[in-house]
Amino acid sequence: MDCNCVSDLLLTSPVPALWAPGFAFPDWAYKPESSPGSRQIQLWHFILELLQKEEYQSVIAWQGDYGEFVIKDPDEVARLWGIRKCKPHMNYDKLSRALRYYYNKRILHKTKGKRFTYKFNFSKVLLVNYPLLELGGAPLLLAPCPGGAHGPDCPPLTPETLQSLFSSPRLGGPPGRGPLFERQAESEKLRLDSALPFLGSGVSGYSKPPLLAPYGRTPPFPEYPWNFNPYLSGAFPLSSSKLPASLYSPHFYPNPLAQLPAPVSLLAAEGAERGALGPAAVPRLCLPPHGAALPLRGEGHGPGGREREALGDRGSSPPGGPKEDPGSDSELEITDLSECSSENESSPESLELKLGVLEGGPGAAGGPAEEGKSPAGT
DNA sequence: GCCGGAAGTA
DNA sequence: TACTTCCGGC
């Protein structure tokens, strides 16, 4: 059965890189065709998309530790996921089951004690998709740290370094050549998991930076090193709309899996995943230290809410309203499950959801999130 | 709410 | 393969 949902629209949209503390997901992370093992949108991609969109702040948002997010409105997230997948009967129970399958894959894990709160294992996400950063000929990565140092001895990769890897300050530079490509020295190696403590198992010695005042999508930029706010939607030092095109060019993000011997890629991913292999067994990604501190982060975002019939009451604007979003970087549109085939027995009028600014921005169509939702709680 | 087994689906 | 659906148990 065909599903003629709007997912295609959404998925082929140029979604900008989104945040990770000190790291931005390249746009391939949001493309179904980049989804490992599947041509369809994967749930974690979808979650990232929502997290990236400002208009869904009241539905799902980054919170707590790096990589951690809270589903403020489980029903709404489930509804959106159902729309995307043409599963009108989707609910949070089912969605959460899918999320739980990510536990074993180490893509996600649950933040215990916090309702509706999960945490991304970015190392897995990254390495599965991008096990080896092929640096246009520059020998890179997956090599032992200088001096044979491994593990804790390996200089950590700082957010700044990661930032530099995926941003291109040289706006006039040759396309497809970010700072990463300027690093030619063999000693320049990248090691993701030591620098991004939220990566890996989720258990690390990383101590949380001081909390900031309640954060919003308007970041207190000065508070962040390299102008980076992990809580900004699509947080990136530069507004995504201002990011150099080269940042998203396929040249900049070749698919290493297509270029590398499978064993190497697999080993990298596997090593990062398990973290159990000895250092000699698993090539590590290393880069020299930059000495930059981890970005501070904000906290204290107000609770969202959840009270909505699965496909019924939608409505108004999210708290703060889906404002005009002239700078919106994606052209997402979720319209109607009626376009789904057989499975969709919902009333056509029950679903009309606009994401992003396909035409006139989210405000034009009314955001999916509602006003005055009560805090999630049951 | 959360977990994970089991069976089914595309 | 990546969920979806259902469900018993905690």
Å from A303 (CA) to B9 (C1')? 36
Å from A87 (CA) to C5 (C1')? 11
Alpha helices of A26-91 — where are they, by DSSP H? Answer: 43-52, 74-85
pLDDT in tens, A123-155: 777 666 555 544 333 333 333 333 333 333 333
Which residues, in sequence order, are CB contacts of A105 under 8 Å at separation 6+? A124
Query: Protein footprint on strand C: which nucleotides are under 7 Å from a CB?
Result: 1-7
% of chain A with per-residue pLDDT over 70? 23
**pTM for the predicted model, two decimal places:** 0.48
Å from A291 (CA) to C1 (C1')? 41
Distances (CA, A) of A216 to A241, A297, A338: 19, 11, 35
Detail the protein residues whose CB sits closer than 7 A to any atom belonging to strand C: A 35-38, 40-44, 81-82, 85, 87, 89-90, 93-95, 97-98, 101, 105, 343
pLDDT in tens, A320-329: 333 333 333 3
Å from A37 (CA) to C1 (C1')? 6
The predicted pLDDT at position A7 comes to: 43
Å from A332 (CA) to B9 (C1')? 27
Instruction: Name the average pLDDT for chain A.
Output: 50
pLDDT in tens, A294-316: 333 333 333 333 334 333 333 33
Name the pLDDT band for A341 (thresholds 50, 70, 90). low
Most confident of the ranges A180-184, A197-201, A254-258: A197-201
Scanning every strand, the nucleotide with its C1' closest to A95's CA turns out to be C4
Å from A368 (CA) to B9 (C1')? 29
Query: Protein footprint on strand B: which nucleotides are under 7 Å from a CB?
Result: 1-6, 10
DSSP string, A213-255: S---SS--GGGSGGG--TTSTT--SS-GGGS-HHHHSTTTS--
Which CA-bearing residue is nearest the C1' of C4? Answer: A94
Asked whether the beta carbons of A119 and A155 are under 8 A apart, the reply is no
